[in-house]
Structure 1
Amino acid sequence: MKKFFSFVVFPAIACIMLLGSCKKGDTGPSGPAGPAGNANVIYSNWIQTSNWVKSTTSVGSGKVTYYFDVASNDLTQDILDKGTVLVYAVLYNDPDGVGIAKLLPSIYYDGGSAGTQYRFQYGLFLNKVRIICDVVPNGIPATSNKVRVVIIPGGVSGVITGRSATPPDYSKLSYEQVCEMYNIRPY
C-alpha cells in the first residue's frame, strides 16, 4: 500500500498543485479574420409559380401580362433603399436547358421557336416581390416555373475564391457562383 501511495497518489497531487498554481497570462493576439459568410443574406426556397394572375392594368398591343406575388417580410424599406434583391427562375421548357437557374429579367422562346415569347421580370415592393411575365403574342406562363428570391442587405459582401470582396456585377455571375459567394444551398 505504501508503494501504491508513493507511486500514484503523490505524483497525482503534485500534478494537480502544479497545474492549479499556474498564473494566468495576458491574452494573446487576435487571429486573422475568417472568410465572409452569409449571416445576413436571406433566400427563399424554390417557389412554384402556380398562381399566375392575368393583369388588368398592364395592357399593350400584341401581349398578355401575368404576375405572381411572393410575400416576404424580409423585404423591408431598408432593403429596398440600400440592399440588393436577386430573383432567379428555373423556367419550364427553357430551350437553354432544363433546370438552369436564370437571373431575371430573362426572355425565352417556348420550345426554342419564335412563335411565343415569354419576358420574365420582377418588381420590388415593401414585403413583396412581384414576378411579371409578358407573353407575346399570347399564352399563359407555365405553372411549373420556379423562382427563388435572394436578399442581400446593404454592406454585406461575399467572396469567391480568387476574387476581391468588392460588390460584384451579379449579371456576370452564374447562379452557382452567387450560391458559393453567399454560402447558399443551390437547390
Structure 2
Amino acid sequence: MQTKANVVYGVMVFFLSGLFLVSCSAEDGETGPAGPAGPQGEQGPAGPAGADGADGADGADGQDGAQGDTGTANVIYSDWIDSEFDTNITDPAAGVDLSAPGLTQEIIDEGTVLVYGRNIVLPSPEIFPLPQIISGDNHGFRVNGVGNIRLTIASLDGSAVGSRVMEDYRYILIPGGQPDGGGGGITIKSSTYDFSKMSYEEVAALFGIED
C-alpha cells in the first residue's frame, strides 16, 4: 500500500509540474499593462562646455566690406522754398533772408553750404547752383550766421534787376567736410568731391535727395 501511494504521489507531482510550466509559457496570455513611472532621480552634474565653433566668413571673399560714403543721415536739406523776391525788382540789387534751422556754427566752420535756385517758368525747368550769372544779373548767397542764409541778386551794370529768374530755392548742408589740401575739393569719408563742378542732379544723386 505504501508503494502504491508513493507512485500516485509522484504522478500527481509530475502532472502539477507540467501544468505550472504550461501556465508560465510566454505564449500563453497577454502582457499586463505597465506600472506607473517611478519618481525622477536627481540630475547629474553638467558636463564640460564644448569648444567654440569657427567664426563665419564676413563676405563672399572673407573680407570686411568697405564703409560707404556719407548718406542723407548726415546731410540736411530743405524743401523747395518759394522766392520772396519781388516779381519785378526795380533796384540794382536786392536781398532776402532764408531761414535754415539746421545751419549750425559747426557746419559754418567745418562743413559745406550749397544753395540752388530753380526756374519753373520756362517750358523746361532748370536748377542753377549759386552763385550764378543769368541775363546780366549775379544771383548769389552768403551765410549770415547760425540758422540764416542771405539770398542776393545784383545787376552787373548798375541798372534795375527787373524780373526775377528764380521761382524757388533749396539749401543743402553737409557737416564735417574737410579740405583735401590739394585741388580745393571737400573730403567726405574717403572720397573727395568738388561741389562747384557738380550739377544739382549729381549732388542730389550722391546724397539720395528727392525733389
TM more than 0.5: yes
Please state whether the residue corresponding to 2:191 is helix, strand or coil.
coil
Measure the CA separation in 1 of the matches of 2:147 and 2:119.
24
Q: 1:118 aligns with which of 137, 148, 151?
A: 137
Is 1:85 the counterpart of 2:113 in the alignment? yes
Measure the CA separation in 1 of the matches of 2:97 and 2:85.
8
Q: 1:73 aligns with which of 101, 105, 114?
A: 101
Is 1:127 the counterpart of 2:147 in the alignment? yes
Report the alpha carbon displacement of residue 173 of structure 1 after superposing the two structures with TM: 0.8
Please state whether the residue corresponding to 1:179 is helix, strand or coil.
helix
Report the alpha carbon displacement of residue 91 of structure 1 after superposing the two structures with TM: 3.0
TM-score, normalising length: structure 1:
0.64
Maintained 8 Å contact 1:158/1:182 = no
Is 1:33 the counterpart of 2:52 in the alignment? no
Closer, same or farther: CA 29–134 of 1 in aligned 2, 3 Å: same
Measure the CA separation in 1 of the matches of 2:120 and 2:162.
12
Is 1:104 the counterpart of 2:138 in the alignment? no
Give the residue type in structure 1 aligned to 2:74: N
Maintained 8 Å contact 1:79/1:153 = yes
Larger Rg: 2
TM-score, normalising length: structure 2:
0.57
Measure the CA separation in 2 of the matches of 1:23 and 1:127.
58
Q: Any gaps of 5 or more consecutive residues in structure 2? A: 1-49, 59-63, 179-186
Maintained 8 Å contact 2:85/2:164 = no
Q: Any gaps of 5 or more consecutive residues in structure 1? A: 1-21, 53-62, 110-116
Maintained 8 Å contact 1:51/1:143 = no
Q: Write the deviation string for residues 9-53 of structure 1: whole angstroms up to 9, x where unpaired.
A: xxxxxxxxxxxxx9874654654135322221110001110355x
